[in-house]
């Protein structure tokens, strides 16, 4: 008798950019759990988005710190202090971000993540302008993936796909209205939820999540007889 061994399947069936991002988020969360408190405070202060810092940028008083402050519009997505917050975002990235990466390709997927993070951070910054709050988490990027998935489904010709896309939009809007009214209590968290960042990231995903155009195949060269 002969036996044929089936190829080994990976433990996590997710594309590379999504896996790398999730590992980075988990690694930084682990740092906050294990590092001395003063170290964690310094890293949080450098990476998280703090609206009062942008008042200094707007007035020209930030000086050499201007670049570092502007960079927090992106770097705030890397920070998760609460384990539940991390678990939710990583779970959504593995489930939805993986689909977006496969559908859009690596360059456009990276662009989507960055644009959704920037849009989410900028929207939250505008809502909390000058307020002494700390904004962190990858929820803007996750919402961007949801928006891109809805846009990809809307581009389909099947009515079922369009209904699925409209369902995503409806769930996102209703969920964030509830978060705006009830805050973190809706999820059992003793903190405010940056629902404005969710909507900003979702809007960016809707704009950038158009499907890739199929490549046109050139006809074979014809030869005169």
**215 is a domain residue:** no
DSSP lists the bridge partners of residue 186 as none
Which of 79-88, 149-158, 185-194, 201-210 has the least mean pLDDT? 185-194
How confident is residue 190, by pLDDT bands cut at 50, 70 and 90?
low
Long-range contacts of 27-33 (CB under 8 A, 24+ apart): 28/78, 28/79, 28/80, 29/80, 29/81, 29/83, 29/86, 32/79, 32/80, 32/81
User: What's the length of the chain?
Assistant: 225
Q: Give residue 49's domain range.
A: 16-208
**Residue 13 near residue 99 (C-beta atoms within 8 A):** no
Q: What is the CATH number of the domain that holds 195?
A: 1.20.1540.10
Q: What confidence tens digit (pLDDT) does each residue in 17-49 have?
A: 999 999 999 999 999 999 998 998 999 999 999
DSSP string, the chain: ----PPPPPPSS---HHHHHHHHHHHHHHHHHHHS-HHHHHHHHHHHSB-HHHHHHHHHT--GGGHHHHHHHHHHGGG---SHHHHHHHHHHIIIIIHHHHHHH-HHHHHHHHHHHHHHHHHHHHHHTTT----B--SHHHHHHHHHHHHHHHHTSSSHHHHHHHHHHHHHHHHHHHHHHHHGGGGGT-SS---HHHHHHHHHHHHHH-PPPPPPPPPPPPP---
pLDDT in tens, 111-149: 999 999 999 999 999 999 989 999 999 999 999 999 999
d(CA 93, CA 146): 9
Residue 108 lies in a domain: yes
User: How confident is the model over 77-92, as a mean pLDDT?
Assistant: 93
What pLDDT sits at residue 225?
A: 40
- 2 falls within a domain: no
Residue 65 lies in a domain: yes
Residue 8, in any domain of the structure = no
Would 220 be classed as within a structural domain?
no
Query: What is the number of structural domains in the chain?
Result: 1
In-domain check, residue 38: yes
The pTM for the full model equals 0.85
Confidence of residue 3 (pLDDT cuts 50, 70, 90): very low
CA–chain centroid gap for 59, Å, is 30
Report yes or no on 171 lying in a domain: yes
């Amino acid at each position: 008798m002969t036996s044929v061994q089936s190829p080994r399947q990976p433990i996590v069936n997710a594309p590379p950019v999504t896996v790398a991002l999730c590992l980075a988020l988990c690694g930084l969360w682990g740092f906050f759990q294990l590092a001395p408190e003063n170290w964690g405070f310094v890293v949080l202060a450098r990476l998280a988005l703090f609206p009062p810092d942008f008042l200094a940028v707007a007035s020209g008083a930030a000086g050499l710190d201007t670049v570092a402050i502007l960079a927090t519009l992106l770097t705030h997505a890397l920070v998760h202090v609460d384990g539940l917050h991390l678990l939710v975002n990583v779970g959504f990235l593995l489930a939805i971000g993986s689909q977006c990466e496969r559908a859009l390709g690596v360059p456009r997927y990276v662009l989507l993540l960055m644009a959704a993070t920037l849009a989410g951070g900028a929207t939250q910054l505008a809502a909390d302008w000058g307020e002494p709050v700390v904004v962190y988490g990858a929820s803007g990027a996750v919402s961007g993936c949801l928006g891109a998935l809805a846009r990809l489904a809307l581009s389909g010709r099947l009515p079922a796909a369009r209904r699925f896309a409209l369902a995503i939009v409806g769930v996102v809007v209703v969920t964030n209205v509830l978060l705006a009214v009830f805050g973190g209590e809706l999820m059992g968290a003793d903190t405010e939820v940056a629902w404005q960042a969710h909507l900003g990231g979702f809007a960016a995903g809707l704009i950038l999540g158009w499907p890739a155009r199929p490549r046109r195949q050139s006809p074979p060269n014809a030869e005169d007889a």
